[in-house]
Structure 1
Amino acid sequence: MSEQKVIHEAQAKDSEQQVRERIVRQIADELNISQKQIRTTIDLLSEGNTIPFIARYRKEMTGELDENQLRDIEERHQYLRNLQERKEEVLRIISEQDKLTEELAKAIQNASKLQEVEDLYRPYRQKRKTRASVAREKGLEPLAQWIRSAPKAPEALVEAAKYVDEAKGVEDASQALQGAMDIIAEEISDDATIRAWIRRYTLDHGMLVTEARNANEESVYEMYYSYRELAKKMPPHRILAINRGERENVLKVQLEVAPESIYRYMEKQLIQGPSAVQKLLGEVIEDAYKRLIAPSIEREVRTELTEKGDSQAISIFAGNLRNLLLQAPIKETRVLGVDPAFRTGCKLAAVDETGKLLEVAVTYPTPPVNKKREATEIFHRMINEHNIELIVIGNGTASRETEQFVAELIQEIKDRKLAYLIVSEAGASVYSASKLAQEEFPDLDVAQRSAASIARRVQDPLAELVKIDPKAIGVGQYQHDVSQKNLESSLKGVVESAVNHVGVDVNTASPSLLSYVAGVNATIAKNIVKYREENGRFISRKQLQKVPRLGAKTLQQCVGFLRIKGGDNPLDYTGIHPESYAATTKLLKSLGIQPEQLGSTEAVTALAGVDVEQTAAALDIGVPTLRDILDSLQRPGRDPRDELPLPIFRTDVLKIEDLTPGMELQGTVRNVIDFGAFVDIGIKNDGLVHISQLSEQFVKHPMDVVSVGDNVTVWVLNVDLKKGRVGLTMRPSSAQEAAGQ
């Protein structure tokens, strides 16, 4: 290898190292996390480690960063790497034009946002035919340079007359002058510093103004028929609502900015004192802003506002989805799932305690068929034959009419304890028509599969909901309006996090559930199930090594999240990673605990008395790892969802006509959005607790107070019978005022 090549490669490596360190410093500053933690996380991710694995089993290395912090680092690192690639591309293109100066190269390399890079690149980008490019072709650039030099004399028209050339299409001095002004206007528009200032000013002072295209037309956007608000203070949900109204051609939207301050700033940058062309430059500045800068800046600011709305909507959906997935399972309960409908009837599916399908049927207790007596007989028979304890009704079409029927049915049954639940059936139809559902229930029609899904989703919400595309589970705001790619990526991370947080029984899990375990893809998940079917249940984690395509790296990532109940090694039923088995065995031996004793009172007491600092040093493991080991040993097989409250079981129906202001009710939070929470209180439509009614204290965001699945005490604030809307409060003071009205 030549000396020149060695030097070149060494320089390239140094350059890569500088880029890496610049990225590390930027992420550390943005996220307020140490540079050492950032470097370690980037290294672990680049080695193919998954976020759940790093968060759970590499705490000493990362300084106990949680999953959210790790995902933030991963996201920012990817963005900044992409930004670096764009910088290198821009530098190459400008260099090929022989226009790259040291100052420009430095500005591009130091840019921290893609927008800054694009602003710097703008003057060198290949443009379509413009007024300025036409003027340049006519040879008017020297005249433009003369004007920008702010000459004291002569008059501009006198100088412009020198450029009249009919052969080039410049017929008189005025035309020459106009062409030169067009060139200057484009140069001003391409100035990165000016654009950045105007963009910032527009975002800070711009008013988003909306009006109706047809003020006489009724729509859900009526509050925006004549509306204006400072853009930077506009909440995300309002941005998305206005965007949707504009997209549906109901609203006209524009960003209004008073231009006087912008003109003053531009004049200060471009006009250096009195000159023969001072007035002319003023005209150029106004043209550059109105014709070239303002329209594109408005688009950029609107895009930035939309990204803000998207980000918040995705965050809301992700938070709600996690809480929905982690709802407490109703275990050891036989369930009758009901997918309600009017004309096509209610589809029923009875399942046993394990979710095994026992029977399906169809009944017609609601209009227009009204075979109520026959439906009663079928319900009674299925409840008795299958020892049903809970009836679960999907909240779709005819759900409340079906609820009324079921409530009356329960009142008639005196010989057993029976209750019902209304559950969200969001995504049930998507699942029931999927290839997965066809494989699972090949003999059932689509509606019957949906009833089975509704029944199972209360027995184990996580195991059932992972079979459904997360985007189809409607717990959010404006999720159909946001970037679907970003939404899908975020929701996949949420499901992965929830699955690994709970852990998975490798002997009962479906391929859908297994595919979300850290490191496991759909192919490996199917291979695990196939191996289980062909060889019988797994009796140790070591057996996973025999699963086709489950290599050493994948095994390292997933094995700690896979549980084996009743296997050869009791540690396989815990969240302890096999790499810590030696230290764990040593710990148990020092305490005189046999693995078979785990979970007993004696073992729990002995483990609770361990001095963590001293023992970690003695076992040569980190303190965070030892804490996790002790927690797993004290509660082997723990399901964190068991500590959450169960949903509210009902035996009788409540009608909106029954409600009066001040009435106290128990409800379940169904959805949390920017402006409040929707709560199921047992009537047809969920009631709304506005953000102002969530607490006696100031609430920054509803998610700070409530989560999907929470059981809450609410009071009726107001009732709108015509629109079927109920306002609720969680503030006792508001309840007293409502009751006194």
Structure 2
Amino acid sequence: MERRIASELGIRLDQVRGTLALLDEGNTVPFIARYRKERTGGLDEVQIRDVARLSEQIRQLEDRRQTILSSVEEQGALTAELRRALSSAQTLGELEDLYAPYRPKRQTRATRALEAGLGPVAEAIARGEDPNRLAAQFCTEAYSDVDAVIGGARDILAEAMADDATVRAYVRDKMRRDGRMMSKRRRGGEEDPKYQMYFEFSVPVEKMRPHQVLAIRRGEKEKVLSAGVEVHEDRLVDWIVGQRVKTGGVARKHHTEAVRDGFGRLLHPSLERDVRGELEEDADKHAIGVFALNLKNLLLQPPLAGRVVLGVDPGMRTGCKLAVVDATGRLIDTGHMYVHDGRKRDAPDIISAMVHKHGVEVVAIGNGTGSRETEELVARGLRGKDGVHYAIVDEAGASVYSASEIARAEFPDLDVSVRGAVSIARRIQDPLAELVKIDPKSIGVGMYQHDVNQNALSQELDAVVEDVVNAVGVDVNSASQPLLARVAGIGPTLSKRIVAHRDATGPFASRASLKDVRGLGARTFEQCAGFLRVRQGREPLDDTGIHPESYALARDILKLSGQEPGASGLKARLDALGRSGELRALAEKHGAGAMTLEDVLSALVQPGRDPRDELDPPQLRSDVLSVNDLREGMVLEGTVRNVVDFGAFVDIGVKQDGLVHVSEMADRFIKNPYDVVGVGDRVKVAIVSIDKERGRIGLSMKQASGR
């Protein structure tokens, strides 16, 4: 197993062995990736999870292999040749193909014929004998004449052909290589314009794109489309006949007809399900990967910490809910305004008054229905207020949070919609801290997320949240229970105990004092300590990513350098000590490897480093555009809201986001848009087309790059 994992993932055997051992010991993925680099050879979180995933798949394959071997042996059909074939099968598909003739079946035409004793007639046809004379001896009530008996014998031959592992492998491969995915409008189905391109659709199976596979699957589910895989049936039947039919005369005719019938009735539908299943599995993986990448970029949006924020949850019919939070995220005021009818004239004054009363520095506007109408009124309310800006905030999942148990616990007396405004305000202060309160699937930054395998989606998105939270680090004295629950090794129960302990006894003075929390033992402390931060505590190293197990090494390094963590001259001094070999000798003394030493040095140089600081901050505006202000050729700055296979949607400050098609991203061929942009990126774009009727704006990054 270990060699296969190493081969498939392109990593060393020792890396696989080290990773599997650490996983088997019960270590968390973030802990392994950050603090056990020597044992994994520096594998990152994604690679570690790939090792875990592939090892589980191989274990499942082996379990299935043993089940099949036992089943065939119990039937008395396990020959030496079949045992070798089953033992050497490398995929679940190969195993199931070999098992097909022996798999217990529900009642089929072939099983009924066999139960009626028609096996000898089928065998006679296969040997090349004329079955007519023999068939007369097997007439029964169910098979009352010669033609019925021969028909039953052909059913037996048809099913045997469809269960043949060699035939299945060949036809499946041909279906993958030469088949065409077809779809058309279903008879009686709605003429839904979003499926129009699939009403007469035909693409080679091997050229199907993930979004096409997912769109067709959804169209079938909604009973708008019918679809299938088309193959060269005559060619494939001829090939099968050449493989299985070795006789001539009347027997050949019957056997050939059995093959043709079995192909259309049994083999093609079965393998079509297999091939479409493969396409859909690959498309699901791709869509989940897209969602995961976009979610990661969204969670990594830089915070606007320490600002007083007015959150606005837009609403057309019921009006906008307003919430002001102070620099720590504490709710200090709420309000309400309308953006339609005659009442909208009061909206700018309401905004202005709340900004003045509370010293609001930023207004965060949710991007839901009515956001652009709201934006216009907010912009008017901010005129003349120097230094106060607004930003459009992705509000996906805010309504889910508002009705959640977490929100009810935080704000039991607030209306659901007002809780949404609080969430929007806090998202600009610290997107990660707020978004972890929401089921990741409710944050709409993917495509077809409701159609893909939901268990796989949840696992992948939970892994993304876990990785981001632990990469950023968590202040144990200010973090919410949902945020603490995402720290490696903690979980929901222990996070509640940490918060309760903090509320009862006051802030934690050090990482070590976490051991006073009931249920937080040495093993859990080992897993979580390095990801928790204690700001301004009694131990300066507690505000770094250095694990307590490496504190002795870190202190000796600081003593040798004569500097404090983060000191301006520390890096130069450490570089000199590195060149002299003194640091390497110190690390060896403490039993630390080169990678651990490098991480400790990096953390000492930048003790409070937040990886989010290196990314583009939220785009703040002070005035609003309308689509009527746009002109082709105009260059603007915008924020990437979503990335999909064919491009990126960019918020440029008008009612609808514009699309940068993948062909307009750069002056070179771009296969994958995610190689160029990510959610939250600030990009310069040129307007290339405006379709007011359809509400579409075409943008170009490459045309804006030279301006």
Tell me which interval the TM-score lies in, with the shorter structure as reference length. over 0.9
After superposition, what is the alpha-carbon deviation per residue over 1:35-90, rounded to whole angstroms, capped at 9, x for unaligned? Answer: 22111111110110011111101111111011111111111111111222122222
Are 1:444 and 2:419 counterparts? no
Within 2, Cα distance between the matches of 1:543 and 1:122? 60
Are 1:731 and 2:706 counterparts? no
| Corresponding residue number in structure 1 for 2:377 | 405
Which of 584, 593, 610 is the equivalent residue of 1:616? 584
The one-letter amino acid paired with 2:568 is: T
The one-letter amino acid paired with 1:681 is: I
The one-letter amino acid paired with 2:182 is: V
Native 8 Å contact 2:366 2:393 kept in 1? yes
Are 1:146 and 2:124 counterparts? yes
Aligned to 2:478, the other structure's residue is in SS state: coil
After superposition, what is the alpha-carbon deviation per residue over 1:300-327, rounded to whole angstroms, capped at 9, x for unaligned? Answer: 2111111111111000000000000001
| Corresponding residue number in structure 1 for 2:659 | 688
After superposition, what is the alpha-carbon deviation per residue over 1:581-636, rounded to whole angstroms, capped at 9, x for unaligned? Answer: 1111222222223xxx2112133332243317652344212111111000000011
| Corresponding residue number in structure 2 for 1:342 | 316
- Structure 1, 191-200 or 427-436: larger mean CA deviation: 191-200
Within 1, Cα distance between the matches of 2:295 and 2:74? 50
Within 1, Cα distance between the matches of 2:401 and 2:83? 53
Change (3 A) 1:301 1:369: farther
| Corresponding residue number in structure 2 for 1:191 | 164
| Corresponding residue number in structure 1 for 2:255 | 281
Are 1:357 and 2:331 counterparts? yes
The one-letter amino acid paired with 1:113 is: T
Which of 501, 504, 509 is the equivalent residue of 2:471? 501
Are 1:56 and 2:34 counterparts? yes
Instruction: Extract unaligned runs of 5+ from structure 1.
Output: 1-22, 737-741
| Corresponding residue number in structure 2 for 1:79 | 57
Displacement after TM superposition at 1:495 (Å): 0.1
Within 2, Cα distance between the matches of 1:348 and 1:717? 36
The one-letter amino acid paired with 1:131 is: R
Which of 636, 651, 654 is the equivalent residue of 2:607? 636
Displacement after TM superposition at 1:369 (Å): 5.4
Aligned to 1:278, the other structure's residue is in SS state: helix
Aligned to 2:237, the other structure's residue is in SS state: helix
After superposition, what is the alpha-carbon deviation per residue over 1:336-394, rounded to whole angstroms, capped at 9, x for unaligned? Answer: 10001122221111111111111111122x11352422x33332221112111111100
| Corresponding residue number in structure 2 for 1:391 | 363
Within 2, Cα distance between the matches of 1:83 and 1:164? 43
Which of 271, 288, 292 is the equivalent residue of 2:266? 292
| Corresponding residue number in structure 2 for 1:381 | 353
After superposition, what is the alpha-carbon deviation per residue over 1:455-510, rounded to whole angstroms, capped at 9, x for unaligned? Answer: 00011010000000000000011101101111001000000000000001111111
| Corresponding residue number in structure 1 for 2:627 | 656
Within 2, Cα distance between the matches of 1:558 and 1:244? 42
| Corresponding residue number in structure 2 for 1:709 | 680
Native 8 Å contact 2:126 2:247 kept in 1? no
Change (3 A) 1:464 1:647: same
Within 2, Cα distance between the matches of 1:652 and 1:680? 14
Which of 188, 198, 202 is the equivalent residue of 1:224? 198
After superposition, what is the alpha-carbon deviation per residue over 1:516-540, rounded to whole angstroms, capped at 9, x for unaligned? Answer: 1111110011111111111111111
The one-letter amino acid paired with 1:28 is: A
Change (3 A) 1:218 1:141: closer
Within 1, Cα distance between the matches of 2:153 and 2:248? 20
| Corresponding residue number in structure 1 for 2:574 | 607
Native 8 Å contact 1:337 1:451 kept in 2? yes
Change (3 A) 1:400 1:538: same
Native 8 Å contact 2:477 2:507 kept in 1? yes
The one-letter amino acid paired with 2:368 is: G
Change (3 A) 1:36 1:648: same
Give runs of aligned pairs for residues 197-596 of structure 1, distance below 5 A.
197-213=170-186, 217-272=191-246, 274=248, 277-364=251-338, 366-368=339-341, 370-373=343-346, 375-411=347-383, 413-414=384-385, 416-593=386-563
Are 1:129 and 2:107 counterparts? yes
- Structure 1, 612-621 or 46-55: larger mean CA deviation: 612-621
Instruction: Extract unaligned runs of 5+ from structure 2.
Output: none
Within 2, Cα distance between the matches of 1:39 and 1:276? 61
What is the RMSD of the two structures over their aligned residues, measured on CA atoms? 1.8
Native 8 Å contact 1:729 1:735 kept in 2? no
Within 2, Cα distance between the matches of 1:160 and 1:206? 39
- Structure 1, 46-55 or 218-227: larger mean CA deviation: 218-227
Displacement after TM superposition at 1:274 (Å): 4.3
Within 2, Cα distance between the matches of 1:478 and 1:735? 35
| Corresponding residue number in structure 1 for 2:669 | 698
Displacement after TM superposition at 1:160 (Å): 2.9
Aligned to 1:420, the other structure's residue is in SS state: strand
Native 8 Å contact 1:716 1:735 kept in 2? no
Within 2, Cα distance between the matches of 1:460 and 1:551? 30
| Corresponding residue number in structure 2 for 1:15 | none
Count of aligned positions: 702
The one-letter amino acid paired with 2:583 is: T
Native 8 Å contact 2:299 2:435 kept in 1? yes
Native 8 Å contact 1:717 1:735 kept in 2? no
Aligned to 1:370, the other structure's residue is in SS state: helix
Within 2, Cα distance between the matches of 1:346 and 1:658? 25
Aligned to 2:486, the other structure's residue is in SS state: coil
Native 8 Å contact 2:648 2:661 kept in 1? yes
Aligned to 1:337, the other structure's residue is in SS state: strand
Aligned to 1:611, the other structure's residue is in SS state: helix
Displacement after TM superposition at 1:666 (Å): 0.4
Within 1, Cα distance between the matches of 2:232 and 2:70? 39
Change (3 A) 1:493 1:215: closer
Aligned to 2:452, the other structure's residue is in SS state: coil
Native 8 Å contact 2:2 2:16 kept in 1? yes
Change (3 A) 1:178 1:481: same
Native 8 Å contact 2:647 2:661 kept in 1? yes
Change (3 A) 1:170 1:441: closer
Displacement after TM superposition at 1:734 (Å): 10
The one-letter amino acid paired with 1:682 is: G
Within 1, Cα distance between the matches of 2:244 and 2:333? 81
% same residue? 49
